[in-house]
Protein backbone atom coordinates (compact mmCIF):
# COMPACT_ATOMS: atom_id res chain seq x y z
CA UNK A 1 0.00 0.00 0.00
CA UNK A 2 1.32 3.42 -0.93
CA UNK A 3 1.79 6.15 1.64
CA UNK A 4 -1.08 8.05 0.04
CA UNK A 5 -3.36 5.03 0.30
CA UNK A 6 -2.38 4.52 3.92
CA UNK A 7 -3.06 8.17 4.71
CA UNK A 8 -6.50 7.95 3.09
CA UNK A 9 -7.27 4.76 5.02
CA UNK A 10 -6.23 6.35 8.32
CA UNK A 11 -8.30 9.45 7.56
CA UNK A 12 -11.37 7.36 6.73
CA UNK A 13 -10.87 5.37 9.90
CA UNK A 14 -10.67 8.55 11.96
CA UNK A 15 -13.84 9.89 10.36
CA UNK A 16 -15.67 6.63 11.02
CA UNK A 17 -14.55 6.28 14.64
CA UNK A 18 -15.22 9.89 15.61
CA UNK A 19 -18.57 9.91 13.81
CA UNK A 20 -19.74 6.75 15.57
CA UNK A 21 -18.48 8.04 18.90
CA UNK A 22 -20.33 11.33 18.47
CA UNK A 23 -23.54 9.62 17.37
CA UNK A 24 -23.52 7.44 20.47
CA UNK A 25 -22.36 10.03 23.01
CA UNK A 26 -23.69 13.37 21.76
CA UNK A 27 -26.13 13.94 24.66
CA UNK A 28 -23.39 13.09 27.15
CA UNK A 29 -21.18 15.71 25.52
CA UNK A 30 -23.86 18.39 25.38
CA UNK A 31 -25.40 17.77 28.81
CA UNK A 32 -23.04 17.18 31.74
CA UNK A 33 -25.09 17.37 34.95
CA UNK A 34 -22.94 17.63 38.09
CA UNK A 35 -23.26 14.57 40.30
CA UNK A 36 -24.35 16.59 43.33
CA UNK A 37 -27.62 17.89 44.70
CA UNK A 38 -27.37 21.24 46.44
CA UNK A 39 -29.80 23.67 48.00
CA UNK A 40 -30.02 27.23 46.77
CA UNK A 41 -28.38 29.68 49.15
CA UNK A 42 -30.25 32.41 50.97
CA UNK A 43 -33.83 33.42 50.41
CA UNK A 44 -34.46 32.06 46.92
CA UNK A 45 -38.00 30.76 46.49
CA UNK A 46 -38.11 27.20 45.19
CA UNK A 47 -40.99 26.71 42.77
CA UNK A 48 -42.32 23.59 41.07
CA UNK A 49 -43.96 23.25 37.67
CA UNK A 50 -44.02 20.82 34.75
CA UNK A 51 -42.40 20.72 31.33
CA UNK A 52 -44.54 20.90 28.21
CA UNK A 53 -44.49 17.09 28.12
CA UNK A 54 -45.62 16.86 31.76
CA UNK A 55 -42.22 16.08 33.30
CA UNK A 56 -41.89 17.44 36.87
CA UNK A 57 -39.41 20.30 37.28
CA UNK A 58 -38.38 22.99 39.70
CA UNK A 59 -36.59 26.31 39.65
CA UNK A 60 -35.73 29.29 41.84
CA UNK A 61 -37.28 32.74 41.92
CA UNK A 62 -35.45 35.89 43.03
CA UNK A 63 -37.99 38.67 43.40
CA UNK A 64 -37.28 42.10 41.98
CA UNK A 65 -38.31 45.42 43.47
CA UNK A 66 -40.83 46.49 40.81
CA UNK A 67 -44.42 47.15 41.90
CA UNK A 68 -46.84 45.72 41.01
CA UNK A 69 -44.84 42.53 40.29
CA UNK A 70 -47.29 41.25 37.66
CA UNK A 71 -46.44 44.21 35.42
CA UNK A 72 -42.69 44.10 35.98
CA UNK A 73 -39.90 42.50 33.96
CA UNK A 74 -39.15 38.81 34.47
CA UNK A 75 -35.84 37.31 33.36
CA UNK A 76 -35.85 33.57 32.65
CA UNK A 77 -32.20 32.55 32.98
CA UNK A 78 -31.01 29.20 31.58
CA UNK A 79 -27.70 27.91 32.92
CA UNK A 80 -24.92 26.01 31.17
CA UNK A 81 -24.29 22.31 30.65
CA UNK A 82 -22.18 21.58 33.74
CA UNK A 83 -23.93 24.04 36.03
CA UNK A 84 -26.91 23.96 38.40
CA UNK A 85 -29.78 26.35 38.95
CA UNK A 86 -28.84 26.55 42.65
CA UNK A 87 -25.32 27.69 41.76
CA UNK A 88 -26.80 30.44 39.58
CA UNK A 89 -28.84 31.93 42.44
CA UNK A 90 -26.15 34.40 43.69
CA UNK A 91 -25.87 35.87 40.19
CA UNK A 92 -29.66 35.99 39.88
CA UNK A 93 -29.94 37.77 43.23
CA UNK A 94 -27.47 40.38 41.98
CA UNK A 95 -29.49 40.82 38.79
CA UNK A 96 -32.70 41.33 40.76
CA UNK A 97 -31.04 43.79 43.10
CA UNK A 98 -29.39 45.85 40.37
CA UNK A 99 -32.25 45.93 37.84
CA UNK A 100 -35.46 45.47 39.83
CA UNK A 101 -36.40 42.55 37.57
CA UNK A 102 -37.63 39.25 38.95
CA UNK A 103 -35.41 36.33 37.92
CA UNK A 104 -36.55 32.75 37.35
CA UNK A 105 -33.74 30.19 37.17
CA UNK A 106 -35.15 26.92 35.79
CA UNK A 107 -33.53 23.54 36.27
CA UNK A 108 -33.31 20.86 33.58
CA UNK A 109 -34.44 17.26 33.87
CA UNK A 110 -31.58 14.98 34.88
CA UNK A 111 -30.01 17.80 36.93
CA UNK A 112 -30.07 18.39 40.70
CA UNK A 113 -31.98 15.21 41.45
CA UNK A 114 -34.76 15.74 38.91
CA UNK A 115 -35.59 12.35 37.35
CA UNK A 116 -34.93 11.68 33.71
CA UNK A 117 -32.12 11.90 31.21
CA UNK A 118 -31.22 15.29 29.69
CA UNK A 119 -31.75 15.39 25.95
CA UNK A 120 -32.18 18.01 23.25
CA UNK A 121 -35.94 17.42 23.06
CA UNK A 122 -36.24 17.25 26.84
CA UNK A 123 -34.43 20.55 27.33
CA UNK A 124 -36.78 22.22 24.85
CA UNK A 125 -39.80 20.84 26.72
CA UNK A 126 -38.27 22.02 30.00
CA UNK A 127 -37.79 25.53 28.61
CA UNK A 128 -41.37 25.64 27.36
CA UNK A 129 -42.52 24.60 30.83
CA UNK A 130 -40.54 27.42 32.45
CA UNK A 131 -42.07 29.89 30.01
CA UNK A 132 -45.59 28.64 30.73
CA UNK A 133 -44.95 28.92 34.47
CA UNK A 134 -43.66 32.48 34.11
CA UNK A 135 -46.65 33.55 32.03
CA UNK A 136 -49.08 32.03 34.49
CA UNK A 137 -47.45 33.52 37.58
CA UNK A 138 -46.65 36.97 36.11
CA UNK A 139 -49.32 37.43 33.41
CA UNK A 140 -48.56 41.09 32.75
CA UNK A 141 -44.80 40.90 32.86
CA UNK A 142 -42.37 41.68 30.07
CA UNK A 143 -40.21 38.61 29.53
CA UNK A 144 -36.46 38.64 28.95
CA UNK A 145 -34.67 35.38 28.07
CA UNK A 146 -31.10 34.93 29.29
CA UNK A 147 -28.76 32.04 28.58
CA UNK A 148 -25.19 31.19 29.46
CA UNK A 149 -23.20 28.73 27.33
CA UNK A 150 -25.55 25.80 26.56
CA UNK A 151 -28.31 27.89 28.11
CA UNK A 152 -27.77 30.47 25.36
CA UNK A 153 -28.86 27.87 22.79
CA UNK A 154 -31.83 26.82 24.91
CA UNK A 155 -32.90 30.45 25.37
CA UNK A 156 -32.48 31.25 21.67
CA UNK A 157 -34.52 28.26 20.57
CA UNK A 158 -37.27 29.23 23.01
CA UNK A 159 -37.22 32.85 21.80
CA UNK A 160 -37.57 31.62 18.22
CA UNK A 161 -40.85 29.89 19.12
CA UNK A 162 -42.36 32.60 21.37
CA UNK A 163 -45.42 34.62 20.40
CA UNK A 164 -45.02 37.43 21.11
CA UNK A 165 -41.23 37.55 21.08
CA UNK A 166 -39.38 38.33 24.32
CA UNK A 167 -38.51 41.97 24.93
CA UNK A 168 -34.84 40.95 24.80
CA UNK A 169 -32.62 37.91 24.27
CA UNK A 170 -29.46 38.10 26.37
CA UNK A 171 -26.66 35.63 25.59
CA UNK A 172 -23.50 35.12 27.61
CA UNK A 173 -20.72 33.04 26.02
CA UNK A 174 -22.94 31.68 23.23
CA UNK A 175 -21.87 29.23 20.52
CA UNK A 176 -22.91 29.55 16.89
CA UNK A 177 -24.21 26.01 16.41
CA UNK A 178 -23.87 22.46 17.71
CA UNK A 179 -22.25 21.53 14.41
CA UNK A 180 -19.59 24.20 14.84
CA UNK A 181 -18.85 22.94 18.34
CA UNK A 182 -18.53 19.39 17.03
CA UNK A 183 -16.03 20.63 14.46
CA UNK A 184 -13.89 21.95 17.31
CA UNK A 185 -13.69 18.36 18.59
CA UNK A 186 -12.10 17.31 15.27
CA UNK A 187 -15.34 15.77 14.07
CA UNK A 188 -15.64 16.35 10.31
CA UNK A 189 -17.85 19.41 9.75
CA UNK A 190 -19.64 17.91 6.75
CA UNK A 191 -23.19 19.30 6.61
CA UNK A 192 -24.86 16.25 5.11
CA UNK A 193 -23.12 13.94 7.57
CA UNK A 194 -23.94 16.10 10.59
CA UNK A 195 -27.61 16.33 9.63
CA UNK A 196 -27.80 12.55 9.49
CA UNK A 197 -26.08 11.70 12.76
CA UNK A 198 -27.08 14.55 15.05
CA UNK A 199 -29.94 14.47 17.51
CA UNK A 200 -28.93 17.94 18.77
CA UNK A 201 -30.03 20.78 16.52
CA UNK A 202 -28.94 23.98 18.25
CA UNK A 203 -28.53 26.67 15.56
CA UNK A 204 -28.12 29.89 17.51
CA UNK A 205 -26.52 31.92 14.74
CA UNK A 206 -29.28 31.04 12.27
CA UNK A 207 -32.10 31.58 14.76
CA UNK A 208 -31.07 35.06 15.94
CA UNK A 209 -31.27 36.21 12.31
CA UNK A 210 -35.06 35.86 12.46
CA UNK A 211 -35.92 36.67 16.08
CA UNK A 212 -37.73 39.98 16.37
CA UNK A 213 -36.11 41.02 19.63
CA UNK A 214 -32.89 42.85 20.54
CA UNK A 215 -30.04 40.35 20.94
CA UNK A 216 -27.35 41.26 23.46
CA UNK A 217 -24.11 39.25 23.67
CA UNK A 218 -21.27 39.14 26.21
CA UNK A 219 -18.15 37.03 25.77
CA UNK A 220 -14.71 36.66 27.32
CA UNK A 221 -11.58 36.99 25.20
CA UNK A 222 -9.91 33.99 26.92
CA UNK A 223 -12.84 31.59 26.72
CA UNK A 224 -11.28 28.18 26.05
CA UNK A 225 -14.63 26.38 25.84
CA UNK A 226 -16.42 28.58 23.30
CA UNK A 227 -14.18 31.00 21.39
CA UNK A 228 -15.09 34.68 21.48
CA UNK A 229 -15.37 34.76 17.70
CA UNK A 230 -18.53 32.63 18.01
CA UNK A 231 -20.15 35.20 20.28
CA UNK A 232 -19.24 37.96 17.84
CA UNK A 233 -20.67 35.95 14.94
CA UNK A 234 -23.93 35.40 16.83
CA UNK A 235 -24.21 39.13 17.57
CA UNK A 236 -23.46 40.15 13.98
CA UNK A 237 -26.07 37.70 12.68
CA UNK A 238 -28.88 39.12 14.82
CA UNK A 239 -31.89 40.63 13.09
CA UNK A 240 -31.94 43.26 15.85
CA UNK A 241 -28.48 43.58 17.44
CA UNK A 242 -28.50 45.12 20.88
CA UNK A 243 -25.23 45.61 22.76
CA UNK A 244 -22.01 43.59 22.42
CA UNK A 245 -19.72 43.31 25.43
CA UNK A 246 -16.27 41.77 24.94
CA UNK A 247 -14.44 41.31 28.23
CA UNK A 248 -10.68 41.14 27.87
CA UNK A 249 -9.09 38.48 30.04
CA UNK A 250 -12.36 36.77 30.93
CA UNK A 251 -12.80 33.04 30.50
CA UNK A 252 -15.94 30.98 30.08
CA UNK A 253 -17.40 31.31 33.56
CA UNK A 254 -16.10 34.63 34.92
CA UNK A 255 -17.45 37.21 32.48
CA UNK A 256 -19.49 38.94 35.19
CA UNK A 257 -16.60 39.05 37.65
CA UNK A 258 -14.00 40.17 35.09
CA UNK A 259 -16.37 42.64 33.45
CA UNK A 260 -17.33 44.33 36.71
CA UNK A 261 -19.47 47.44 36.29
CA UNK A 262 -19.19 47.22 32.49
CA UNK A 263 -20.92 43.87 32.68
CA UNK A 264 -23.73 45.17 34.88
CA UNK A 265 -24.21 48.19 32.62
CA UNK A 266 -24.49 45.82 29.66
CA UNK A 267 -27.06 43.70 31.48
CA UNK A 268 -29.10 46.71 32.57
CA UNK A 269 -29.12 47.93 28.96
CA UNK A 270 -30.63 44.61 27.92
CA UNK A 271 -33.18 44.33 30.72
CA UNK A 272 -34.07 48.02 30.85
CA UNK A 273 -33.78 49.13 27.19
CA UNK A 274 -35.88 52.26 27.71
CA UNK A 275 -33.46 53.72 30.24
CA UNK A 276 -30.10 52.78 28.73
CA UNK A 277 -29.25 53.21 25.05
CA UNK A 278 -27.58 50.33 23.25
CA UNK A 279 -23.96 50.81 22.17
CA UNK A 280 -23.10 48.78 19.10
E strand residue ranges, 11-62: 45-50, 56-62
Check whether 38 has a pLDDT greater than 70: yes
Q: Please, how many CA atoms are within 13 Å of residue 69, restricted to the half-sphere of its CB?
A: 15
d(C-alpha 172, C-alpha 240), whole Å:
17
Of residues 257 and 21, more confidence is placed in 257
Is pLDDT at 170 greater than 60 in this prediction? yes
- Any idea what DSSP says for residue 22? H
Map out the domains of the chain as residue ranges: 3-31+41-271
> Band of the pLDDT at 74, cuts 50, 70, 90?
very high
DSSP assignment of 100-115, as one string?
--EEEEE--TTSTT-S
The CATH architecture that domain 3-31+41-271 belongs to is 3-Layer(aba) Sandwich (3.40)
Note the pLDDT of residue 182.
Answer: 77
Q: Mean pLDDT throughout 128-137?
A: 98
Amino acid sequence: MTMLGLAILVALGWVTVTTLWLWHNQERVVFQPPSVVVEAPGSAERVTYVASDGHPLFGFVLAGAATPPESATVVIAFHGNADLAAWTVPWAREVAGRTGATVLVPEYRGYAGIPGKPTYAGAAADAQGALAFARARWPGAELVLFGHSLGSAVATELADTMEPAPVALVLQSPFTSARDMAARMLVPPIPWLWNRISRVHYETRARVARIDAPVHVAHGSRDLNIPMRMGVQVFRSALRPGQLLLVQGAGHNDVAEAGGERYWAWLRAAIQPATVSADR
